[in-house]
Structure formats: C-alpha cells, structure tokens
C-alpha cells in the first residue's frame, strides 16, 4: 500500500515535471528570450525535486517491509546499544512476547517520513530491535529474524527521520517500567 502511494506521488511529480519541461521547450522553440532560462530552471528545480522524491520514503516501505498484517510476531528483543570505536556494543536487553506491547512499538515506528542519507556514517542508534517474524508463503510458514536499529534521528543508520512523531515513546516507557537484563 505504502509503496503504491509513493509510486503514485512520484509519477504525479514526473508528469508535472514533464508538462513544465514541454512548456519551457515551447518557449525555447518560439525563440523567446525567456526560453533558455525557463528550460534550465525547469531542469534544475524539477531534477532536484525528483531526486528528493527518489530518496524520500516511509518507515513502512523501508524498514517494516517484511511485517505484514497477517505476520505472526513471535517475540521482540530490544537491546540498548552504544557506539564504541565504530562498533555497536550491547549494554542491556529485554525480551517482549506480549503482542499488544509489540504492536504499540511497531505502531510508533510506522508512518515515519524518512530521507536516505547517502553520506551518513553508522552511528546514532540507541536500540537494536530483533523481531522473530513468521509469514505465510504459499503453503509454508517462513520464519525469519529482522533487525532494526533505532535512534532519535535515524533508523537503520542510513534513514534520517524527518517527521515529528515520537517513535521511541513505548520503548522509553518500557525502559522506565521494566527490569532490563545486563549483557
């Protein structure tokens, strides 16, 4: 669903860019003195806007893509991490098997607007979420472990969070309310 919405948004942007480019080209062909300037402006501004659309996504499409409505989440392990000399070190962890709590955490993480930060070095994660997820595939049940690194500003190290949603709300509540195991 999210991918199709993003695709429609991108296609709409592409159509608008095409219409503006055709209009600018017509000015150029009429030998208007604004023709070359309008073509260059449309290409620069439109090109940047399309590039921005390509690197923008949502957490549902980029991070939570393997978790569907019919997925069975067997458990969620949350680990607090610290970046030491370029490597994440685990400090504490908690295992959550209660479906309601897991769904609250996933709801907090869903719908975030993200922007791919191409030049970002790893770092900034506070938690690593390990989800054990089972999905029905044909006549089989496929089970896999999915890992998501989460911080205040980034998800999976390379996606900058650009929306103003409190995506760590439930995890912070668990941090206060429950006993975490030392690693």
Burial of 174 (0-12, 13-18, 19+ CB in 10 A): middle
Distance set, CA 177 to CA 118, 120, 170 (Å): 37, 33, 10
Asked if 148 and 109 count as a contact pair (C-beta separation under 8 A), the reply is yes
Interval 130-157: pLDDT, tens:
999 888 888 888 888 888 888 898 888 7
138: DSSP letter:
T
Asked if 160 and 117 count as a contact pair (C-beta separation under 8 A), the reply is yes
Interval 20-37: pLDDT, tens:
888 878 877 787 777 787
Fold (CATH) for 63-182:
Immunoglobulin-like (2.60.40)
Angle at 59 between CA 163 and CA 136, to 5 degrees: 155
The predicted structure's pLDDT at residue 144 = 84
Per domain, the residue ranges of the chain are 2-56, 63-182
């Amino acid at each position: 669903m999210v991918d199709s919405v993003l695709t429609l948004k991108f296609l709409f942007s592409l159509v608008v860019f095409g219409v503006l480019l055709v209009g600018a080209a017509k000015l150029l062909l009429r030998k208007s003195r604004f023709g070359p300037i309008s073509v260059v402006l449309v290409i620069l501004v439109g090109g940047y806007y399309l590039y921005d659309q390509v690197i923008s996504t949502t957490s549902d499409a980029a991070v939570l893509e393997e978790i569907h409505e019919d997925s069975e989440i067997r458990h969620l392990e949350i680990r607090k991490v610290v970046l030491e000399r370029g490597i994440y070190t685990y400090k504490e962890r908690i295992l959550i098997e209660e479906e309601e709590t897991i769904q609250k955490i996933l709801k907090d993480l869903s719908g975030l607007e993200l922007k791919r930060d191409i030049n970002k070095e790893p770092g900034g994660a506070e938690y690593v979420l390990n989800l054990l997820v089972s999905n029905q595939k044909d006549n089989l049940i496929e089970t896999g472990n999915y890992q998501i690194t989460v911080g205040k500003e980034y998800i999976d190290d390379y996606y900058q969070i650009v929306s103003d949603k409190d995506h760590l709300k439930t995890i912070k509540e668990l941090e206060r309310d429950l006993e975490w195991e030392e690693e």
